[in-house]
A = this chain, B = another copy of it.
Amino acid sequence: MDNIFTPAVASMQASAIREIFKLIAQKDIISFAAGIPAPELFPAKEWAAITNDILTTNPTPALIYGVTEGYVPLRELTLKRMADMGMACSTDRLVITSGAQQAIDLTAKVLLNVGDGVIIEKPSFIGSLNSFRSYGAQLFDVDVEADGMNLEQTEEILKTQNIKFIYTIATFQNPSGVTMSLQKRKDLLALAKKYDVFILEDNPYGELRFSGEAVPTIKSMDTEGRVIYAGTYSKTLAPGVRVGFCFAREDIIDRVVVVKQVNDVHTPVLNQMMVYEYITRHDFDAHIRNCSEIYGKKCALMLDCMDKHFPKECTYTRPDGGIFILCTMPEGTDTKELLGEVIQNKVAYVPGNTFMADIDAPSNIFRLNFSVTKEDDIVKGIEILGGILRKHV
């Protein structure tokens, strides 16, 4: 049998980021390639007590099949937290998903026919781009500027192409750390309305703000069910529990639930209970403030070191939250090629090509993570990296 796979799936590449992780798995590398919160902030001890309670006192609900929509107390709690963040649309519904990745993937599955267009940010998160590709979508990218995606480019594409939705990580974007301005959020929503398309707002980092003023989510300004919101507990608690959610118009959630039912039946109930019980028994907002404060200090330290050691030809973003800084080397630098030398010197970043619609084209950008690395390793690693960069400008 030839051509056994669907054309969309046949052409997919494994996530280059996850392949890089395999490269840099050696213990003595100072890695700035991560995309996770600091493991020492995971509430492991609290969860040890919680799982012990659940599994010794009333284990059955945690271990039998649950409803596809999610563990009801966690759904209600999440809806309340959404309302507290200004997203209280009573006609919308929420489904718990196995990470925000599943919210994105199932949204793509229900909406995208082969050949449908999706507008994406350039650069953007490879996991989402690959999901859209897996359904045969065409990707159209627009530049990310200091205040978010370029809306002139966005409208030009909306005018000429068959677009189903616009995908944006509007707050502390991955990989740029950039936050879309309030004005651009309003204008983007107006564009979506004008051209009758959806917005898929992916907001894994939004709660991790350590400086600047909060900007409302695009979803919070959505009066007509045009925004599909993907959220997660991966970045505020721990990514490995795989608990996220999707919040959108009722008919969309209804379809997401139907395809989730045939995808993994439901997100493991024990994992949902772990999140619910942690938030109920402990001060989750204080935990988030503590994480954000630590990340803010690490970010400031990293930027200080970069100011000192990086060549002036290398520019970079100064995020108000999240876990990433994006660096731009002079045109002509191929950061994927440069990674070999960087790893030889026991440091690592994620090269820019992995965030692009065209993953094979050389890119002069790279992503640094500041949440995971310890402070003395930040100092040491940035100095080493700066030395290499200075040789290549």
Contact = CB atoms under 8 A, between A and B. Distances in A.
Interface of A: 1, 4-7, 9-10, 12-15, 18, 35-36, 39, 42, 44-45, 47-48, 51-52, 55-56, 59-60, 62-68, 98-99, 101-102, 105, 109-114, 127-128, 130-131, 134, 164, 196-198, 238-242, 251-252, 255, 257-259, 261-271
Contacts of A128: 262
Nearest to A4: B111
Contacts of A112: 6
B264 A102 contact: yes
A105 B263 contact: yes
Contacts of A251: 4
A63 B12 contact: no
B105 A134 contact: no
A5 B15 CA distance: 27
A251 B252 CA distance: 34
Nearest to A263: B105
**Chain copies in complex:** 2
B240 A63 contact: yes
Given A9-B110, A102-B264, 7 more contacts: A4-B164, A4-B252, A9-B258, A9-B259, A42-B60, A48-B52, A264-B264
B42 A264 contact: no
B264 A130 contact: no
Contacts of A14: 257-258, 261
A108 to B, nearest CB: 9
27 contacts: A5-B255, A6-B109, A6-B113, A7-B113, A9-B259, A12-B255, A14-B261, A18-B67, A18-B261, A44-B56, A44-B60, A44-B63, A47-B63, A48-B51, A48-B52, A51-B51, A52-B52, A63-B240, A98-B98, A101-B263, A114-B114, A127-B265, A130-B258, A130-B262, A240-B270, A241-B268, A264-B264
Contact of A239 (B5, B13, B64, B271): B64
A198 B1 CA distance: 9
Q: Which 4 A-B pairs have the closest CB atoms?
A: A44-B59, A48-B55, A131-B262, A63-B238
Contacts of A198: 1, 4
Contact of A5 (B35, B111, B127, B271): B111
Contacts of A98: 98, 264, 268
Residue with the highest number of chain B CB atoms closer than 10 Å, among A1, A5, A110, A255: A5
